[in-house]
């Protein structure tokens, strides 16, 4: 699927990896829709990028909020062709630590945002996509990209909730691709390594160097534009479906 003249929603698009996708879509002549809770950052990005970007205040874990965002995006741009599920967060804590067992509410909060939120937006955007006009001989109607993490596979000490949530995202990729086959909608998942987002920019150099040492080549953290490049490639290449791809310079995370 081409990016130009297509409309792509990015959850968590106000910041970090999602914001890099928003910039890349607009640069390539597409319409970019930010679904995020951070209105200040979302508005600033739209002011920078202009008319082909749109911010919608959307909470990915609430059905009505996502439905309202889809309606707003459709009213401005028409059919929705793509979705990248970047909204997510982490939490650190051992299953049993110094203060006792990991609090269940914290575990559930991470699963709810990273896994249930990703599923919620995917199912509702795909429901909207299924009535899209078909523009290709293959009958393609839409393409979705999920964002997991290398922690889905090499979870470190203290990453139990985060790793479980991201492994859930990896696990649902193939069954969703199978569910969507007849609809002409593809879905793939990226497992990023460690990227140089704003948050990481505030980390001490020693920590950044330590993380970069886990990469083979290139021996550095990823640039958000490299993530956006992969996400848009997965949208563009019609033959990739149901796949999970590590984007990590052959990084393998040690236990700690």
Ligand X SMILES: NC(=O)c1ccc[n+]([C@@H]2O[C@H](COP(=O)([O-])OP(=O)(O)OC[C@H]3O[C@@H](n4cnc5c(N)ncnc54)[C@H](O)[C@@H]3O)[C@@H](O)[C@H]2O)c1
Binding site for ligand X (CB under 6 A): 11-12, 14-18, 35-38, 58-61, 86-89, 113, 117, 147, 149, 192, 194-195, 197, 199
The first and second tokens of residue 164, run together, are 């479980």
Cβ 93 to ligand X shortest distance, Å: 16
Question: Which C-beta is closer to ligand X: that of 107 or that of 195?
Answer: 195
**Residue with smaller CB distance to ligand X, 19 or 129:** 19
Structure tokens at 55: 């911010």
Nearest residue to 245 via CA among 152, 157, 168, 162: 152
Closest CA to 147 of 126, 118, 120, 125: 118
Considering 35, 162, 180, 227, which one is annotated as catalytic?
162
Which residue has 């970090």 as its token pair?
16
Shortest distance, position 139 Cβ to ligand X, whole Å? 30
**Helix H or strand E encompassing 55:** strand 53-57
Kindly tell me the sign of the dihedral angle through the C-alpha atoms of 51, 55, 56, 58. Answer: positive
Q: How far is the CB of 248 from ligand X (least distance, A)?
A: 9
Is the Cβ of residue 132 or residue 176 nearer to ligand X in the bound state?
Answer: 176
Cis peptide before 106 (omega within 30 of 0): no
Between 183 and 211, CB nearer to ligand X: 211
Neighbouring-strand partners of residue 31: 7
Q: Is 239 known to be catalytic?
A: no
Quick check: 26 and 48 in contact, CB under 8 A?
no
Q: Which residue has the tokens 């949530």?
A: 165
Residues linked to residue 246 through DSSP beta bridges, in sequence order: 191
Q: Coil, strand, or helix at residue 1? A: coil
Minimum CB separation of residue 100 from ligand X in Å reads 26
State in angstroms the smallest separation of the CB of 35 from ligand X.
Answer: 6
Q: Which is nearer to ligand X, 135 or 168 (CB)?
A: 168
Contact 110, 91 (CB under 8 A): yes
Query: Which residues are the active-site residues?
Result: 162
């Amino acid at each position: 699927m081409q990016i130009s003249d297509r409309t792509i929603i990015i959850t968590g698009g106000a910041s970090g990896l999602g914001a890099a996708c928003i910039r890349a879509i607009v640069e390539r002549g597409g319409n970019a829709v930010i679904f995020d809770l951070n209105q200040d950052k979302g508005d600033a990005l739209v002011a920078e990028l202009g008319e082909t970007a749109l911010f919608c205040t959307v909470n990915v874990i609430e059905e009505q909020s996502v439905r309202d965002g889809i309606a707003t995006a459709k009213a401005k741009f028409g059919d929705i062709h793509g979705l990248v599920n970047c909204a997510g967060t982490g939490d650190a804590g051992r299953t049993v630590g110094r203060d006792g067992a990991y609090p269940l509410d914290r575990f559930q909060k991470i699963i709810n945002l990273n896994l249930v939120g990703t599923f919620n937006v995917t199912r509702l955007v795909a429901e909207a996509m299924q009535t899209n006009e078909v523009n290709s001989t293959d009958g393609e109607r839409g393409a979705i990209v999920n964002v997991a993490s290398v922690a889905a596979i090499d979870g470190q000490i203290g990453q139990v909730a985060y790793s479980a949530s991201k492994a859930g995202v990896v696990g649902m990729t193939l069954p969703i691709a199978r569910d969507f086959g007849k609809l002409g909608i593809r879905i793939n998942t990226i497992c990023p390594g460690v990227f140089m987002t704003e948050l990481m920019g505030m980390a001490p150099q020693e920590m950044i160097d330590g993380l970069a040492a886990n990469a083979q080549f290139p021996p550095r953290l990823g640039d958000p534009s490299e993530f956006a490049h992969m996400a848009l490639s997965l949208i563009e290449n019609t033959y990739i479906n149901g796949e999970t791809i590590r984007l990590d310079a052959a990084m393998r995370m040690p236990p700690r």
